[in-house]
């Protein structure tokens, strides 16, 4: 399923809102680097606090704090990238070309390319919720 299928805008109402949300979350995790996806599963999948996370990851608390912050940032970027990729052809030709060139599937490369483009494209910036945009530097 391409990136457009993961974002509610293009989901077409198939399934419940909960299913769409789970699908979007899974797709956002697929945009993380493998080591960051692992951290996401360990920390957020298990609901660990900072100290438990540090122990589970074999890191000091300050190291765990930095890694978890980076994973959160990448996850938010992944959400923004998926939202932008959905329906990209109707709104921004450059973005549509980026998504097409990368095959449209959630990946770290798609996340990075879409977010890099969005940082310099007013049309794309306007499509992302302001709170999400601020959290990933758009």
Q: What is the pLDDT of residues 11-29, one digit of tens each?
A: 444 556 677 778 889 999 9
Q: If we measure between CA atoms, which residue out of 41, 47, 18, 21 comes closest to residue 29?
A: 41
| Residues 4, 81 contacting (CB under 8 angstroms) | no
- Helix orientation angle between 50-57 and 34-46, rounded to the nearest 10 degrees: 140
The domain in which residue 16 lies consists of 3-135
Q: How many domains does the chain have?
A: 1
Q: What is the pLDDT of residues 70-105, one digit of tens each?
A: 999 999 999 999 988 887 667 789 999 999 999 989
Q: How far apart are CA 71 and CA 59, in angstroms?
A: 15
């Amino acid at each position: 399923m391409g990136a457009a299928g993961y974002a509610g805008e293009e989901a077409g109402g198939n399934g419940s809102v909960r299913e769409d949300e789970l699908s979007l979350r899974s797709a956002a995790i697929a945009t993380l680097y493998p080591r960051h996806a692992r951290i996401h599963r360990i920390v957020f999948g298990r609901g660990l606090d900072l100290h438990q996370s540090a122990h589970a990851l074999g890191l000091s608390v300050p190291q765990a704090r930095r890694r978890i912050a980076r994973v959160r940032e990448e996850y938010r970027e992944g959400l923004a990238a998926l939202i932008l990729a959905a329906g990209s052809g109707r709104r921004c030709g450059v973005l549509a070309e980026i998504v097409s060139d990368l095959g449209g599937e959630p990946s770290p490369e798609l996340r990075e390319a879409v977010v890099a483009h969005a940082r310099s494209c007013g049309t794309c910036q306007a499509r992302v919720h302001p709170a999400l945009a601020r959290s990933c530097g758009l």
